[in-house]
Structure 1
Amino acid sequence: MTTAVRAPAFTEPDRPKGLLIRFVTTSGSYVDVTGHGEHAQDNRWNCLGCGDTSRSPEQSYLFNIRPDANDHATACRAIPLT
């Protein structure tokens, strides 16, 4: 019996400055959460597959951004075009 190691469909892109969390989408793309951390108000998420980003125009605390980014990663089926 052989065990094959399955390579990811896409290589992980460079990590941006201020990356706090990186979620993998259902299609193998990534949703990055960036900012200055748990107690900062400048945190945002950005999908590298479809280009969607945080819903609110203002930035928010990490505990507000994290569930939204995770929900998007769970639902997004876009693949990275680069």
Structure 2
Amino acid sequence: MDLPDLVIINKFGKREAEGGGFVPVICAALAAGVPVLVGLNDSNRADFETFAAGLAVRLSPDDGAVLAWCLTATGRRPLTA
């Protein structure tokens, strides 16, 4: 089976905080060794941190930091001009 290089979840929200929503997708991706990028807001941060159990890396909310993490997580190199 072909796996994606990266899974992006738009938001860890109320459903995910309750154990539903995209939680099974996140867990399946991680179990398969696929990195997962998850967006969240401050109102769901505590629930996400409980879910992540210390395994998450908090990124600065800027394009460069997110791109650098994605490239590192997927084992790719930045494009050069």
TM-score, normalising length: structure 1: 0.28
TM-score, normalising length: structure 2: 0.28
Larger Rg: 1
Determine which structure has the larger strand proportion and give its number: 1
